[in-house]
Amino acid sequence: NYNFPEDCTVGFKTSNLFSGYTQRLDGIKSVRNYCFASMNILKNYDDLYQIQGVWIWKGDKVPDEVREVDDTNYYTWSTPDTTDPSVRALVDDYFCWEGIFNG
């Protein structure tokens, strides 16, 4: 989740925030060796946009290569309980781009 919802009031600005982050990540070639993600820009009931997604990487913490991009600190990262069926279903939904999200 992006930590500054007040920056996500206009769709194209929210898209620019997210696109800029992914471009900076893409500039670090080794990130492709460590990470796989599905990110979405969602509009909630307050007409605010949210950037949410699921990332999978080697290991149990955010790789140092990803932390090199300053924007990484603007997101909340958590490690889900992968044995929980609801978490597994949410991950499936993100990677299929269908389902009910928190937006």
Cβ-proximal residues to 90 (8 Å cutoff; 6+ apart), any chain: 54, 80, 99, 101
SS3 helix, strand, coil % of the chain, rounded to 5?
A: 45, 20, 40
Question: H or E element: which one contains 66?
Answer: helix 64-67
Distances (CA, A) of 103 to 23, 32, 45, 46, 59: 24, 28, 7, 10, 28
What does the pLDDT look like over 29-56, one tens digit per residue? 778 787 888 888 888 777 789 888 888 8
Q: Which two tokens stand for residue 74?
A: 């603007």
Instruction: Give the per-residue pLDDT at 102.
Output: 61
| Backbone angle region of 99, left / alpha / beta, with phi > 0 → left and psi within -120 to 50 → alpha | left
The low-confidence residues of the chain, meaning pLDDT below 50, are 103
Q: How far is CA 99 from the centre of its chain?
A: 16
